Amino acid sequence: MKIAILGAGAMGSWFGGRLALAGHEVNLLTTNRAHRDAINSNGLILKSARREECVDLPALDPGEFSGPAEVIILFTKSFQSDGALRSIATALDDNTHILTLQNGLGNAEIVSRYAPLERVMIGVTMMPVDKVGPGIVESTGEGGSHFNAALDIDLPIVAQLEAAFKAAGLDVQIDPDIHRRIWSKVAFNAGMNAVCALAHGTPGTIADSPGAQALVNKIASEVAAVAGAEGITLDLNEIRDTIDYACKNHRDHKPSMHQDLLHARRTEVDALNAAIVAAGERLDVPTPLNSILATLVRVAELSHQRYYST
Protein backbone atom coordinates (compact mmCIF):
# COMPACT_ATOMS: atom_id res chain seq x y z
CA MET A 1 0.00 0.00 0.00
CA LYS A 2 1.24 3.51 -0.83
CA ILE A 3 0.96 5.62 2.32
CA ALA A 4 2.02 9.17 3.17
CA ILE A 5 2.26 10.35 6.79
CA LEU A 6 1.39 14.06 6.88
CA GLY A 7 2.82 15.45 10.09
CA ALA A 8 5.64 13.00 10.79
CA GLY A 9 6.48 14.05 14.32
CA ALA A 10 6.69 11.49 17.11
CA MET A 11 3.41 9.66 16.50
CA GLY A 12 3.45 9.99 12.71
CA SER A 13 7.03 8.74 12.51
CA TRP A 14 6.21 5.73 14.70
CA PHE A 15 3.22 4.73 12.56
CA GLY A 16 5.10 5.39 9.33
CA GLY A 17 8.15 3.47 10.50
CA ARG A 18 6.15 0.43 11.56
CA LEU A 19 4.22 0.39 8.26
CA ALA A 20 7.47 0.70 6.28
CA LEU A 21 8.98 -2.22 8.20
CA ALA A 22 5.92 -4.25 7.18
CA GLY A 23 6.71 -3.63 3.51
CA HIS A 24 4.48 -0.70 2.64
CA GLU A 25 5.69 2.21 0.50
CA VAL A 26 5.72 5.03 3.04
CA ASN A 27 6.69 8.70 2.71
CA LEU A 28 7.15 10.76 5.88
CA LEU A 29 6.11 14.37 5.33
CA THR A 30 7.33 16.94 7.85
CA THR A 31 8.39 20.58 7.88
CA ASN A 32 11.04 19.76 10.52
CA ARG A 33 14.25 19.92 8.49
CA ALA A 34 16.49 18.46 11.19
CA HIS A 35 14.18 15.46 11.54
CA ARG A 36 14.08 14.97 7.76
CA ASP A 37 17.85 15.25 7.37
CA ALA A 38 18.51 12.73 10.14
CA ILE A 39 16.07 10.21 8.67
CA ASN A 40 17.42 10.60 5.14
CA SER A 41 21.02 10.31 6.33
CA ASN A 42 20.80 7.62 9.01
CA GLY A 43 17.31 6.11 8.81
CA LEU A 44 14.47 6.45 11.30
CA ILE A 45 15.23 4.95 14.74
CA LEU A 46 12.27 3.32 16.50
CA LYS A 47 12.89 2.63 20.18
CA SER A 48 10.80 0.78 22.73
CA ALA A 49 11.39 -1.16 25.93
CA ARG A 50 11.68 -4.36 23.87
CA ARG A 51 13.89 -3.37 20.94
CA GLU A 52 15.47 -0.71 18.77
CA GLU A 53 15.06 -0.76 14.98
CA CYS A 54 16.32 1.38 12.11
CA VAL A 55 14.02 1.97 9.14
CA ASP A 56 15.16 3.23 5.76
CA LEU A 57 12.39 5.39 4.26
CA PRO A 58 12.16 8.82 2.63
CA ALA A 59 11.36 11.98 4.60
CA LEU A 60 10.18 14.97 2.58
CA ASP A 61 8.94 18.49 3.07
CA PRO A 62 5.20 18.30 2.33
CA GLY A 63 5.61 20.68 -0.61
CA GLU A 64 8.00 18.19 -2.23
CA PHE A 65 5.50 15.32 -2.21
CA SER A 66 3.98 14.64 -5.62
CA GLY A 67 2.10 11.41 -4.86
CA PRO A 68 0.45 9.17 -5.58
CA ALA A 69 -0.83 7.80 -2.27
CA GLU A 70 -3.69 5.45 -1.54
CA VAL A 71 -3.88 6.74 2.03
CA ILE A 72 -2.78 9.99 3.68
CA ILE A 73 -2.59 9.61 7.47
CA LEU A 74 -2.88 13.02 9.07
CA PHE A 75 -1.00 13.58 12.33
CA THR A 76 -0.48 17.35 12.31
CA LYS A 77 -1.86 19.53 15.07
CA SER A 78 -5.49 20.39 14.32
CA PHE A 79 -4.74 24.06 13.62
CA GLN A 80 -2.10 23.00 11.07
CA SER A 81 -4.42 20.73 9.09
CA ASP A 82 -5.63 23.21 6.52
CA GLY A 83 -2.17 24.48 5.62
CA ALA A 84 -0.68 20.98 5.57
CA LEU A 85 -3.37 19.57 3.30
CA ARG A 86 -3.17 22.60 1.04
CA SER A 87 0.56 21.99 0.62
CA ILE A 88 -0.05 18.50 -0.83
CA ALA A 89 -3.34 19.24 -2.61
CA THR A 90 -1.87 18.64 -6.08
CA ALA A 91 -0.79 15.14 -4.98
CA LEU A 92 -4.35 14.12 -4.06
CA ASP A 93 -6.50 12.37 -6.65
CA ASP A 94 -9.80 10.49 -6.82
CA ASN A 95 -8.18 7.35 -5.40
CA THR A 96 -6.72 9.04 -2.30
CA HIS A 97 -8.29 8.42 1.09
CA ILE A 98 -7.43 10.50 4.16
CA LEU A 99 -7.35 9.20 7.73
CA THR A 100 -7.12 11.67 10.60
CA LEU A 101 -5.81 10.35 13.92
CA GLN A 102 -5.53 13.83 15.41
CA ASN A 103 -6.61 15.12 18.79
CA GLY A 104 -9.73 17.16 19.30
CA LEU A 105 -12.99 17.97 17.57
CA GLY A 106 -13.70 19.24 14.04
CA ASN A 107 -10.92 17.43 12.17
CA ALA A 108 -13.16 15.68 9.64
CA GLU A 109 -14.72 19.00 8.67
CA ILE A 110 -11.30 20.42 7.79
CA VAL A 111 -10.25 17.30 5.86
CA SER A 112 -13.51 17.40 3.86
CA ARG A 113 -12.27 20.60 2.17
CA TYR A 114 -9.68 18.46 0.37
CA ALA A 115 -11.44 15.12 -0.08
CA PRO A 116 -15.15 14.21 -0.06
CA LEU A 117 -16.32 12.70 3.23
CA GLU A 118 -16.93 9.45 1.34
CA ARG A 119 -13.11 9.10 1.23
CA VAL A 120 -12.38 10.33 4.77
CA MET A 121 -11.66 8.16 7.80
CA ILE A 122 -11.51 9.39 11.39
CA GLY A 123 -10.00 7.94 14.53
CA VAL A 124 -7.97 8.29 17.69
CA THR A 125 -4.78 6.85 19.11
CA MET A 126 -3.79 6.46 22.74
CA MET A 127 -0.20 5.39 22.07
CA PRO A 128 2.37 7.34 24.09
CA VAL A 129 5.23 8.18 21.72
CA ASP A 130 7.95 10.79 22.22
CA LYS A 131 10.52 12.21 19.84
CA VAL A 132 13.88 11.69 21.53
CA GLY A 133 15.81 13.70 18.95
CA PRO A 134 16.02 14.25 15.19
CA GLY A 135 15.31 10.94 13.49
CA ILE A 136 14.62 9.09 16.78
CA VAL A 137 11.20 8.30 18.27
CA GLU A 138 10.37 6.16 21.27
CA SER A 139 7.21 4.36 22.34
CA THR A 140 6.96 4.73 26.12
CA GLY A 141 4.07 2.31 26.71
CA GLU A 142 1.07 0.52 25.28
CA GLY A 143 -2.04 2.14 23.89
CA GLY A 144 -4.67 1.19 21.35
CA SER A 145 -5.98 3.09 18.34
CA HIS A 146 -9.39 3.04 16.66
CA PHE A 147 -10.77 4.33 13.37
CA ASN A 148 -13.57 4.01 10.85
CA ALA A 149 -15.15 5.78 7.90
CA ALA A 150 -16.34 9.32 8.70
CA LEU A 151 -19.71 8.49 7.17
CA ASP A 152 -21.83 5.43 7.91
CA ILE A 153 -20.91 3.70 4.65
CA ASP A 154 -19.12 0.53 3.61
CA LEU A 155 -15.63 1.73 2.68
CA PRO A 156 -13.40 -1.20 1.57
CA ILE A 157 -10.16 0.68 2.35
CA VAL A 158 -11.08 0.56 6.06
CA ALA A 159 -10.66 -3.22 6.32
CA GLN A 160 -7.56 -3.12 4.12
CA LEU A 161 -5.95 -0.50 6.31
CA GLU A 162 -6.82 -2.34 9.53
CA ALA A 163 -5.09 -5.42 8.14
CA ALA A 164 -2.04 -3.32 7.22
CA PHE A 165 -1.87 -1.85 10.72
CA LYS A 166 -2.12 -5.24 12.41
CA ALA A 167 0.53 -6.77 10.14
CA ALA A 168 2.80 -3.86 11.12
CA GLY A 169 2.38 -4.65 14.81
CA LEU A 170 0.17 -1.61 15.43
CA ASP A 171 -2.80 -2.11 17.75
CA VAL A 172 -5.38 -0.40 15.53
CA GLN A 173 -8.98 -1.59 15.31
CA ILE A 174 -12.12 -0.62 13.43
CA ASP A 175 -14.65 0.93 15.80
CA PRO A 176 -18.32 0.97 14.67
CA ASP A 177 -19.01 3.79 17.16
CA ILE A 178 -16.03 5.96 16.25
CA HIS A 179 -17.69 9.31 17.03
CA ARG A 180 -18.24 8.22 20.64
CA ARG A 181 -14.62 7.07 20.73
CA ILE A 182 -13.39 10.49 19.57
CA TRP A 183 -15.46 12.30 22.19
CA SER A 184 -14.13 9.90 24.85
CA LYS A 185 -10.57 10.79 23.94
CA VAL A 186 -11.43 14.49 24.05
CA ALA A 187 -12.76 13.92 27.58
CA PHE A 188 -9.46 12.24 28.48
CA ASN A 189 -7.25 14.87 26.80
CA ALA A 190 -9.13 17.91 28.05
CA GLY A 191 -7.98 17.19 31.57
CA MET A 192 -4.77 15.22 31.17
CA ASN A 193 -3.17 17.40 28.50
CA ALA A 194 -4.15 20.76 29.96
CA VAL A 195 -3.27 19.93 33.58
CA CYS A 196 0.06 18.33 32.60
CA ALA A 197 0.89 21.33 30.41
CA LEU A 198 0.06 23.96 33.01
CA ALA A 199 1.85 22.05 35.78
CA HIS A 200 4.81 21.12 33.54
CA GLY A 201 4.03 17.59 34.69
CA THR A 202 3.28 14.09 33.48
CA PRO A 203 0.59 11.49 34.24
CA GLY A 204 2.86 10.31 37.03
CA THR A 205 2.86 13.70 38.72
CA ILE A 206 -0.93 13.84 38.40
CA ALA A 207 -1.10 10.48 40.16
CA ASP A 208 1.24 11.65 42.93
CA SER A 209 -0.34 15.07 43.57
CA PRO A 210 -3.32 15.02 45.96
CA GLY A 211 -6.54 16.01 44.22
CA ALA A 212 -5.04 16.23 40.73
CA GLN A 213 -6.55 13.03 39.36
CA ALA A 214 -9.92 13.92 40.86
CA LEU A 215 -9.72 17.28 39.06
CA VAL A 216 -8.98 15.53 35.74
CA ASN A 217 -12.02 13.30 36.31
CA LYS A 218 -14.24 16.35 36.92
CA ILE A 219 -13.01 17.93 33.68
CA ALA A 220 -13.90 14.72 31.84
CA SER A 221 -17.38 14.83 33.40
CA GLU A 222 -17.93 18.29 31.90
CA VAL A 223 -17.01 16.97 28.48
CA ALA A 224 -19.37 14.02 28.92
CA ALA A 225 -22.22 16.43 29.72
CA VAL A 226 -21.58 18.35 26.49
CA ALA A 227 -21.35 15.12 24.50
CA GLY A 228 -24.66 13.99 26.00
CA ALA A 229 -26.31 17.19 24.83
CA GLU A 230 -24.98 16.36 21.34
CA GLY A 231 -26.66 12.96 21.55
CA ILE A 232 -23.47 11.00 22.29
CA THR A 233 -23.41 9.02 25.53
CA LEU A 234 -19.97 8.53 27.05
CA ASP A 235 -19.03 5.89 29.60
CA LEU A 236 -17.46 7.94 32.38
CA ASN A 237 -16.26 4.84 34.22
CA GLU A 238 -14.37 3.78 31.10
CA ILE A 239 -12.81 7.24 30.73
CA ARG A 240 -11.80 7.31 34.40
CA ASP A 241 -10.24 3.87 33.99
CA THR A 242 -8.24 5.21 31.03
CA ILE A 243 -7.09 8.19 33.09
CA ASP A 244 -6.08 5.85 35.90
CA TYR A 245 -4.23 3.56 33.49
CA ALA A 246 -2.26 6.50 32.07
CA CYS A 247 -1.39 7.74 35.55
CA LYS A 248 -0.05 4.31 36.52
CA ASN A 249 1.52 3.12 33.25
CA HIS A 250 2.49 6.26 31.30
CA ARG A 251 4.02 8.04 34.26
CA ASP A 252 6.89 9.72 32.43
CA HIS A 253 5.16 10.55 29.15
CA LYS A 254 4.97 14.27 28.35
CA PRO A 255 1.65 14.98 26.60
CA SER A 256 1.86 17.01 23.42
CA MET A 257 0.39 20.15 25.01
CA HIS A 258 3.12 20.06 27.67
CA GLN A 259 5.80 19.64 25.01
CA ASP A 260 4.35 22.50 22.97
CA LEU A 261 4.56 24.90 25.91
CA LEU A 262 8.13 23.82 26.69
CA HIS A 263 9.10 24.62 23.09
CA ALA A 264 7.12 27.89 23.00
CA ARG A 265 4.74 26.51 20.37
CA ARG A 266 1.02 26.92 19.89
CA THR A 267 -1.01 24.17 21.57
CA GLU A 268 -4.17 22.34 20.50
CA VAL A 269 -6.29 23.98 23.18
CA ASP A 270 -8.69 25.36 20.54
CA ALA A 271 -9.61 21.83 19.44
CA LEU A 272 -9.86 20.56 23.02
CA ASN A 273 -10.89 22.70 26.00
CA ALA A 274 -11.92 25.73 23.95
CA ALA A 275 -13.93 23.53 21.56
CA ILE A 276 -15.78 22.08 24.55
CA VAL A 277 -16.52 25.58 25.86
CA ALA A 278 -17.87 26.63 22.46
CA ALA A 279 -20.04 23.51 22.19
CA GLY A 280 -21.27 24.02 25.75
CA GLU A 281 -22.32 27.59 24.95
CA ARG A 282 -24.17 26.40 21.84
CA LEU A 283 -25.93 23.62 23.77
CA ASP A 284 -26.46 25.59 26.99
CA VAL A 285 -24.26 23.25 29.05
CA PRO A 286 -21.99 24.87 31.69
CA THR A 287 -18.26 24.20 31.26
CA PRO A 288 -16.52 26.30 33.95
CA LEU A 289 -13.46 24.05 34.38
CA ASN A 290 -12.76 23.81 30.67
CA SER A 291 -13.24 27.56 30.36
CA ILE A 292 -10.64 28.21 33.07
CA LEU A 293 -8.20 25.73 31.51
CA ALA A 294 -8.63 27.21 28.01
CA THR A 295 -7.88 30.69 29.37
CA LEU A 296 -4.86 29.55 31.41
CA VAL A 297 -3.36 27.52 28.55
CA ARG A 298 -3.65 30.53 26.24
CA VAL A 299 -1.96 32.71 28.87
CA ALA A 300 0.78 30.08 29.20
CA GLU A 301 1.20 29.95 25.41
CA LEU A 302 1.73 33.70 25.25
CA SER A 303 4.05 33.70 28.25
CA HIS A 304 6.24 30.93 26.88
CA GLN A 305 6.38 32.48 23.42
CA ARG A 306 7.20 35.90 24.82
CA TYR A 307 9.62 35.06 27.61
CA TYR A 308 10.93 31.54 27.12
CA SER A 309 11.36 31.10 23.37
CA THR A 310 14.88 30.47 22.17
pLDDT of residue 272: 96
pLDDT digits (tens, 9 = 90+) for 248-266: 999 998 898 999 999 999 9
Range of the domain at 294: 179-308
| 161 and 188 assigned to the same domain | no
Q: Model confidence at 309, in pLDDT bands (50, 70, 90)?
A: low
| 163 and 201 assigned to the same domain | no
| 186 and 299 assigned to the same domain | yes
| 75 and 208 assigned to the same domain | no
Domain boundary among 120, 148, 176: 176
| 183 and 170 assigned to the same domain | no
| 203 and 143 assigned to the same domain | no
Count of positions (residues) in the chain: 310
| 134 and 191 assigned to the same domain | no
Domain boundary among 151, 176, 201: 176
Per-residue exposure over 112-145, b if at least 16 CB sit within 10 Å of its own CB, e if not: eebbebebbbbbbbbbbbbbeebbbbbbbbebeb
| 168 and 183 assigned to the same domain | no
Give 289-293 contacts, CB < 8 A, sequence gap 24+.
289/215, 289/218, 289/219, 289/222, 290/190, 290/219, 290/222, 290/223, 293/190, 293/194, 293/195, 293/198, 293/219, 293/269
Q: Which CATH number goes with the domain that contains 219?
A: 1.10.1040.10
Q: What is the chain's mean pLDDT, rounded?
A: 95
Query: What is the rounded CA–CA span in Å between residue 176 and residue 72?
Result: 21
Q: Is the pLDDT of residue 142 over 90?
A: no
Q: Model confidence at 102, in pLDDT bands (50, 70, 90)?
A: very high
Domain boundary among 176, 206, 221: 176
Question: Whole-model pTM?
Answer: 0.88
| 162 and 192 assigned to the same domain | no
| 120 and 264 assigned to the same domain | no
Q: How many folded domains does the chain comprise?
A: 2
Element (H, E) at 296: helix 288-303
pLDDT digits (tens, 9 = 90+) for 67-92: 899 999 999 999 999 999 999 999 99
Percent of the chain with pLDDT over 90: 90
| 138 and 194 assigned to the same domain | no
Q: Which CATH number goes with the domain that contains 31?
A: 3.40.50.720
| 165 and 243 assigned to the same domain | no
